[in-house]
Chains A and B, each alone.
Chain A
Amino acid sequence: MEKKKVVLGVIGSDAHAVGNKILDYSLTNAGYEVVNIGVLSPQEDFINAAIETNADAIFVSSLYGHGEIDCKGLREKCNEAGLNDILLYVGGNIVVGKQDWDDVKKRFLDMGFDRVYPPGTAAEVGIKDLTEDLSKRG
């Protein structure tokens, strides 16, 4: 069977590189093909990478606190680019400081993300969800 493909990157002007490496490693080990666009990635780079590679999901990381601004409009742009049902996950330290998690999660779900992860989430959690979400689609 062909490997499922995940575009992975750290969005915006965010240069935190460690989590990105760990996610790349864990996803690859779990049998996914990872298209890692690295740190400092604008929304367009996620979208372009997903189009060319025909990816199944996009993993967005944001660590430095500006996740909300950086992620705004990503789902709409995906739709515009014809990536209608691509899975969008986001994790890291996606907002500034300690905020009520349920509230944060809702805001990102409303933005069109399929899954939203709180700080310190292990890569495995996301991978398990991804495998589940993809198998639902068959």
Chain B
Amino acid sequence: MDAYLFIDFGSTFTKLTLVDIEREEIIATEKAYTTVETDVTIGYENALKKLKEKTNGEYNIIKKLACSSAAGGLKIIAIGLVPELTAEAAKRAALGAGAKVIKTYSFKLNNSELEEIKNSNADMILLAGGTDGGNSDTIIHNAEMINKFNLSIPIVVAGNKSSNDEIIGIFGGNIEYHITENVMPNLNHINVNPARETIRNIFMKEIVHAKGMENVENSISGILMPTPASVLKAAEALSMGSRDEEGIGDLAVLDIGGATTDVHSIADGEPTNPGVFLRGLEEPHSKRTVEGDLGMRYSAISVFEAAGTRTMKKYLKYDDLDIEKEVHKRSTNPSFVATDEKEIDFDEAMAKVCADISMKRHAGFLETVYSPLGNIHTQEGKDLMKLPYLLGTGGVIVNSKNPKDILSAATFTMEDPTSLKPREPKFLLDKEYILSAMGLLTMVDINMAVRMLKKYIVEI
């Protein structure tokens, strides 16, 4: 029988998902440690061998597609003009492409900033600035600086279209560049998808080679995108459907990992209260935020720092644990697996903190303006109050006995009355842990991806 194999090269585990094409079913999943220091092929083959044993080699794999966050994932530097406008739009586009944004720069860059960029470990630069027909001095200056410093990484140019010709002239054959649509063509509109796709393409064609993954490329059909981009694609497919298959509507995904917590929302987030004025930059319909200080292992200490003892205690069932000792244990030993009841309770309390804070940062908020007539409310960011679905993924949620409790921590409470977190969403679970695989499937057969997502993502 014919099957697709989807591979997710994670920082810790290489996960395999085998899909029966005709029956549209998950045949088996398997994982092994990622072996990026030596050769990722080793870990991949280990997992594949186990998978084949499980299925007695009954399946004929006709396509092997991968996503990857191994070797540090995709690291991008975003450059714009005004911090709240094009620099922010560039940052959002890079996040939507599944990247880690290591730093955002704005205005005309100086020598020491270029020095810093040159010495960074960025894989790519997203260069924006100016609306179409708007400011062009700054992006042109910044292109000249990039040229002067001979940056050797790809530059995605997504700024004022009127400056493109000049930038092409500046870069010439010296700098690798890719021109795409402006991330902010006019002031009230942001346009992140073309930049997102351009970034993904460069990642697929170039970045993965640079990360010592070229060997494994010979045994598979391609590494298509960074893992978070794949999760976002799956979320979009489930939410919006395809031409032939209906989606389930607006939703958010909470993905708690070892180092970071990602939140993706597929929703416009228009105000649900009448008379609220929108402020700030337009929100992309598909929005990803990533919290580098919230994660179950590598970031355990910063979770505690972000939460404080009181919030941790709020979520802990057993209060006789030494919180500081527990977080240190996890951060110094990232492969630590919680086994007894107390340890599991501690992990889940940490997960609840991640859920709570990451959703608070992702969702919009209300602000009150005191005017002579009385109070006027303004909204910044997305209003997710009436969001119908919240979908959980990531090891700690998928493996939990009480995934609903963790997801509940991401919902609205009166402790944060101005936050626009989801109020009463239905909770969904990525039970088989297949979101990233399904994101890859959207690239082959989107209709099938929508159908499988609707089958395998369950309500809890």
Question: CB within 8 Å of B: which residues of A?
Answer: 2, 5, 13-15, 33, 35-40, 44, 48-49, 51-55, 64-66
Task: Flag if A53 contacts B376 (CB, 8 Å).
Answer: no
Separation of A97 and B457 alpha carbons in the complex (Å): 62
Contacts of A38 in B (CB 8 A): 277
- Sample (26) of A-B pairs whose CB atoms are under 8 Å apart: A2-B133, A13-B370, A13-B376, A14-B371, A15-B376, A33-B133, A35-B186, A35-B187, A36-B188, A37-B187, A38-B277, A40-B277, A40-B279, A48-B84, A49-B85, A49-B187, A51-B81, A52-B131, A52-B184, A53-B133, A53-B187, A54-B134, A54-B136, A55-B134, A65-B372, A66-B372
Q: Which residue of A33, A39, A53 contacts B135 across the interface (Cβ within 8 Å)?
A: A53
- Does B130 reach chain A (CB closer than 8 Å)? yes
Cross-chain pair count, CB within 8 angstroms: 62
In the bound complex, what is the Cα–Cα distance between A64 and B371 (angstroms)? Answer: 9
Instruction: Name 9 extra pairs, CB < 8 A, besides A48-B82, A55-B134.
Output: A13-B376, A35-B186, A40-B277, A48-B85, A51-B82, A52-B129, A52-B130, A52-B187, A66-B372
Complex contacts, A52 vs chain B, CB 8 Å: 81-82, 85-86, 129-131, 134-135, 184, 187
**Closest approach, in angstroms, between the C-beta of B142 and any C-beta of chain A?**
14
Which one of A53, A55, A64 has the greatest number of beta carbons of chain B within 10 Å? A53
Q: How far is the CA of A44 from the CA of B131 in the complex (A)?
A: 17
CB distance from A77 to the nearest CB of B (A): 13
Q: B414 on the interface (CB 8 Å rule)?
A: no
B370 contacts which chain A residues (CB < 8 A)?
A: 13
Which of A13, A14, A33, A51 counts the most chain B CB atoms within 10 A? A51
Question: In the complex, A33→B188 CA distance in Å?
Answer: 13
Measured CB to CB, the nearest residue on chain B to A48 is B82
Task: Identify which of residues 110-168 in chain B touch chain A, using a CB-to-CB cut-off of 8 Å.
Answer: 129-131, 133-136
CA distance A14 to B135 in the complex (A): 29
* Set A53, A64, A66: member contacting B134, Cβ < 8 A: A53
Contacts of A14 in B (CB 8 A): 371
* Nearest CB in chain A: distance from B55 CB, A: 55
**CB of B369 within 8 Å of the partner chain:** yes
Q: Is the CB of A53 within 8 A of B131?
A: yes
Residue positions of B touching A, CB distance < 8 A: 81-82, 84-86, 129-131, 133-136, 184, 186-188, 277, 279, 369-373, 376, 378
Residues of A within 8 A of B373 (CB): 15
In chain B, what residue has the closest Cβ to A38?
B277
List the B side residues contacting A13 at CB < 8 Å.
369-371, 376
Tell me the smallest distance from the CB of B279 to a CB of chain A, in Å: 7
The smallest C-beta distance from B137 to any residue of chain A, in angstroms, reads 8
A5 to B130, CA, bound (A): 13
| Residue of B with least CB distance to A44 | B84
Of all chain B residues, the one with the shortest Cβ separation from A53 is B134
Q: What chain B residues lie within 8 Å of A2 (beta carbons)?
A: 133
Across the interface, name the chain B residue whose C-beta is closest to A65: B372
For A33, the closest partner residue in chain B by CB is B133
Which residues on A sit within 8 Å (CB–CB) of B372? Answer: 64-66
Cα distance, A36 to B81, chains bound together (Å) = 19
Find the B residue at minimum CB distance from A2: B133
Kindly report which residue of chain A lies nearest to residue B133, judged by CB atoms: A2
A65: B residues at CB distance < 8 A:
372
Q: Which residues in A have their C-beta under 8 angstroms from that of B369?
A: 13, 40
Contacts of B376 in A (CB 8 A): 13, 15, 40
Query: How far does the alpha carbon of A88 sit from the alpha carbon of B235 in the complex, in Å?
Result: 46
B457 CB, nearest partner CB in chain A, Å:
39
Residues in chain B near residue A15, CB distance under 8 A: 277, 371, 373, 376
Q: For the complex, give the distance between the alpha carbons of A15 and B84 in Å.
A: 22
Which residue of B has the minimal Cβ distance to A36?
B188
Q: Which residues of A contact B186 (CB under 8 A)?
A: 35, 53
Q: A residues within 8 A CB of B130?
A: 52-54
A49: which B residues are within 8 A, CB to CB? Answer: 85, 187
How far is A52 from B85 in the complex, measured between Cα atoms in Å? 8
Who on chain B is nearest to A51 by CB? Answer: B82
Shortest CB–CB separation between residue A81 and chain B, in angstroms? Answer: 9
- Minimum CB–CB distance from A20 to chain B (whole Å) comes to 12
Contacts of A35 in B (CB 8 A): 186-188
B136 to chain A, nearest CB (A): 7
